[in-house]
Amino acid sequence: MTENMLEVTGLGHVYRAKEQTHTAFGDISFAVDRGEIVCIVGPSGCGKSTLLRCLSGLLRPTSGTVSLHGTEVTEVPDELAMVFQDYSRSLFPWRTVAGNIEFPLRGRELSKAQRRERVEEALSWVGLSGAATKYPWQLSGGMQQRVAIARALAYRPMLMLMDEPFASVDAQTRAELEDLVLQVRAEHEMTVLLVTHDVDESVYLGDRVLVLSKSPASVVETLSVDLPAPRDQIGTRGAEEFVRLRTEVAQRIRNTAPTS
């Protein structure tokens, strides 16, 4: 379990637009082990999403390296799947739920029957077996994000990156989806890197929490979360250790000095 899956060294990204430059983050280093859920939490606008896009290979960082299994990431690696915040724009409205999940699988060497099997399996993992022939826009927001998660799961990634995946669903649905991530990780040994601005969420989900400072961001703290599994929305969140950790994370975020 201590195998380094993702290694980030001295990562930085600077946006250049005409005269102005904007440093999204300067010098970020951390590692993610296999089977871990690592939450990256930081204040709004600190460059969390930019960081995730650099990690995924969607965006070329201006300095530093990302390596997955020792191979430097220069484009999106095969073993990686992504869940975006804006599920309604990330899903393809002209495809059914099953069609959305199947679409990325077509590029892989799978027979039609194998693809269908994976789609059905992924749908059952997220509890949407009955919705295969529906269109995403016929579903509620929470169900649409489940479809996006199912699409990532069917892809069988080693690493799942989630960019504020629950930021646009209501509190009840958010709790359900959080538990879905924990359940998926427990059942399928997934490694998850999740970006959020929600302090409680980061502690509830994470094995480790990386706290980022304000822009330009850097890792100001790495906290190990020693809360027992399985975690429970009511029990865990009421535990003394949870409250202590969330307070610590919140304080670290508040204390990060604005540097601009």
Partner 1 sequence: MKIFAQRWLVFLGCLVVWQFAAASGANPYFPPPLRILRAAGDLWFSGPAWHLWLTSSVGDDILPSLARLLIGWAVAAVIGVLAGIALGRSAVATDYVAPLLSFARAVPPPLLVPVFLVVFGIGPQMEVATIVLGVVWPILLNTIDGARSVDAVKVETARAFRITRSRWILGVVLPSALPKVFAGLRVSLALSLILMVVSELVGSTSGIGFQLVNAQQATFDYPAMWAWIALISVLGYVLNGLFLAVERRVLGWHHGYTGQAGR
Burial class (CB in 10 A: 0-12, 13-18, 19+), 94: exposed
How many residues can be counted in the chain?
260
**Which residues between 134 and 153 bind partner 1 (CB under 8 A)?**
135, 137-138, 141, 151
Judged by CB under 8 A, which stretch of 15-23, 78-86, 182-190, 207-215 contacts partner 1?
A: 78-86
Judged by CB under 8 A, which stretch of 23-31, 62-70, 84-92, 244-252 contacts partner 1?
A: 84-92
| Chain Cα centroid distance, residue 145 | 12
Return the residue of 50, 51, 90, 205 that touches partner 1, per CB under 8 A.
90
Return the residue of 78, 117, 170, 241 that touches partner 1, per CB under 8 A.
78
Closest to 66 (Cα-Cα) out of 1, 13, 3: 13
Query: Which C-beta is closer to partner 1: that of 155 or that of 204?
Result: 155
**89 binds partner 1 per the rule CB under 8 A:** yes
Binding mask 169-198 for partner 1 (x = CB under 8 A): ------------------------------
CB 75, min distance to partner 1, A: 8
Kindly state the number of chain residues that form the binding site for partner 1, as judged by CB under 8 A. Answer: 26
- What is the binding site for partner 1 (CB under 8 A)? 53, 56, 58, 76, 78, 80-82, 84, 86, 88-90, 92-94, 103-104, 106-107, 135, 137-138, 141, 151, 155
